[in-house]
Amino acid sequence: MSERAAPFHCPYCGDEDLRPSEEGHGAWECAACNRAFRLKFLGLLARGLDRSDTGGDPE
Ligand SMILES: [Zn+2]
């Protein structure tokens, strides 16, 4: 399984103009809103897929 995960949209502004950040592995920069963020794989959910659209919080 690959650790790479490419976001399709910026989680902050929703733009698609993302590029890998020099900050390191899993870090991305959004050219639209100038934010940098990091994706981290936390693990698999034991309960399986649950299509909830709560959106989650940014932290
Ligand atoms: Zn953005």
Within a 13 Å sphere around the CA of 37, how many CA atoms are in the beta-carbon half?
19
Q: Are 7 and 28 in contact (CB under 8 A)?
A: yes
Domain membership of residue 58 (yes or no) is no
Domain membership of residue 24 (yes or no) is yes
12-49: pLDDT as tens digits: 999 999 999 998 888 999 999 999 999 888 888 888 66
Measure 18 CA to ligand 1 centroid, in angstroms: 8
Measure 46 CA to ligand 1 centroid, in angstroms: 31
Amino acid letter at 41?
F
pTM comes to: 0.62
* Residue 13: other Cβ atoms inside 10 A: 12
Q: How many domains does the chain have?
A: 1
Domain membership of residue 27 (yes or no) is yes
Measure 26 CA to ligand 1 centroid, in angstroms: 16
